[in-house]
Amino acid sequence: MIQVFIGYDHREAVAFNVLSHSIHARASTPVTIAPLMLSELKSVFHRERHPLQSTDFSFSRFMVPFLSNYTGWSLFCDCDMLMLDDIKKLWDLRDHRFAVQVVKHDHKPTEGTKFLDQPQRPYEKKNWSSVILFNNARCRALTPEYANTATGLELHQFKWLGDDALIGELPRRWNYLVDYYETVPPENVSFLHFTEGGPYFEAYKNCSYADVWFAERDRMLFAG
Domain ranges of the chain: 2-221
Coil, strand, or helix at residue 26? Answer: helix
Please give the CATH number for the structural domain made up of 2-221.
3.90.550.10
Band (pLDDT 50/70/90 cuts) for residue 181 is: very high
pTM for the model? 0.91
Task: Quick: pLDDT tens for 30-43.
Answer: 999 999 999 999 99
**Cα–Cα distance for residue pair 132/170, rounded to 1 Å:** 9
- pLDDT of 175: 98
Kind and range of the H or E run holding 187:
none
The pLDDT of 3-9, averaged and rounded, is 97
The Cα 193–Cα 173 span in angstroms is: 10
Per-residue DSSP letters for 106-147? ------SEEGGGEE----TTTTGGGEEEEEGGG-TT--HHHH
